[in-house]
Amino acid sequence: MPHGRIVLLVTSPRLPAGILTAAAWDLLRAFPVLAAAESDQATALRAAGIAVTVVEPDPEQPIALLAEHGTVVWLAGAAGDEDFARRLGLRLAREPALAELELCYGSWDPPGARLLDAVAVIDRLASPGGDPWKRQQTHQSLAPYLLEEAYEAYDAIVSADLGALREELGDVLLQVVLHARLAEDLAEDERWTVDDVAGDLVDKMVRRNPHVFAGEAVDGVEAITANWERIKRAEKERDSVLDGIALSQPALALAAKILQRTARAGLDVPLPEDAELGAALLRTVAQARADGLDPEALLRQAALTYADAVREQEEAGSAS
């Protein structure tokens, strides 16, 4: 039988120090605690009355305490801990009677924890000493990239390439986090942070989904959509059903959105009858919507089919 056990206590660096499981606190209070370096976690433990001793990351250090205490806790998280754990494992493999090696998770990364890493990385890049290109950007200079990354994510969805979608959504997230980081450097009365962005989103989702968060009874998806629109109108206090439409979106999609909002409001506004090309295109979009079709997607597909024909003719010409 082993003479004792050495517990490697692993904690999440993305949670505030001192937030640990009950099992971890029981271990820390009952047995000696060693660490390879000072850390926020060690400071928090000492504040709670736990003695943390910083020693060299040498396997013999915890082994020497086993005869007296039976169990020793190693507070993982310092640089070089992986090498220490490897050497300790090899040492105990040669002499298994010395101790059992046990891994204990004192805390775990919560869902979304890597978002904190993304915020930290962008903060480093956009701060003094970081990346000069990112530091000289503005909301205006980044605007084209936001559109470009959104279109690339859209292309990944259309092509059903989920691997590419994962990467492209990361690029979209980069734009969101970078815009928020730049906003931190605005004048005090204009300043906001990524937490403000996330907080506004959370508040909006809670308000607009009372069937989930407030126990409101709904009858199907149509009622949910109607609820959303009703709450949105109350929030925005808009003068027109067309307020809030993104005017910089592609013209075909813009026309479809205007027609959609007009129909949803129950307004009967005649379409232009003149022969001007723009009016004819608008009537075509209206007919597509009446037929339950997406004019933007249809035109995109037609354009891509035509592009394939162009490439085929180019290849035929180069082969002759």
Res 318 pLDDT > 80? no
pLDDT digits (tens, 9 = 90+) for 222-259: 889 888 888 887 887 777 888 888 888 889 889 999 99
Query: 14: which strand partners?
Result: none
Closest CA to 284 of 296, 268, 300, 266: 296
Token pair 């059992």 in the structure block, residue: 100
Which ranges of the chain would DSSP assign to H, the alpha helix? 22-30, 40-47, 60-64, 66-69, 81-94, 113-126, 132-135, 139-158, 162-183, 194-208, 210-213, 221-236, 251-264, 277-290, 295-319
Which of the listed CATH numbers 3.40.1010, 3.40.50, 1.10.287, 1.20.50 matches domain 5-105?
3.40.1010
> Do 289 and 260 touch, CB atoms closer than 8 A?
yes
pLDDT digits (tens, 9 = 90+) for 75-123: 998 777 889 999 999 999 999 888 999 999 999 998 998 999 999 999 9
Mean pLDDT over residues 48-71, rounded? 94
What pLDDT is recorded for position 80?
75
Which band of pLDDT confidence, cut at 50, 70 and 90, is reported for residue 1? low
What pLDDT is recorded for position 240?
84
Res 6 pLDDT > 80? yes
> Do 255 and 284 touch, CB atoms closer than 8 A?
no
What pLDDT is recorded for position 226?
86
Res 60 pLDDT > 90? yes
Which band of pLDDT confidence, cut at 50, 70 and 90, is reported for residue 48? very high
pLDDT digits (tens, 9 = 90+) for 260-279: 989 988 888 999 888 889 99
Q: Compute the mean pLDDT over every residue in the chain, rounded to the nearest whole number.
A: 92
> Crossing angle, helix 221-236 and helix 194-208, to 10 degrees?
130
What pLDDT is recorded for position 2?
62
What pLDDT is recorded for position 300?
87
Indicate the CATH number for domain 113-236: 1.10.287.1080
pLDDT digits (tens, 9 = 90+) for 148-200: 999 999 999 989 999 999 999 999 999 999 999 999 999 999 999 999 999 99
3-class SS of residue 21 = coil
Query: 102: which strand partners?
Result: 7
Parse the chain into domains and list their residue ranges.
Answer: 5-105, 113-236, 251-314
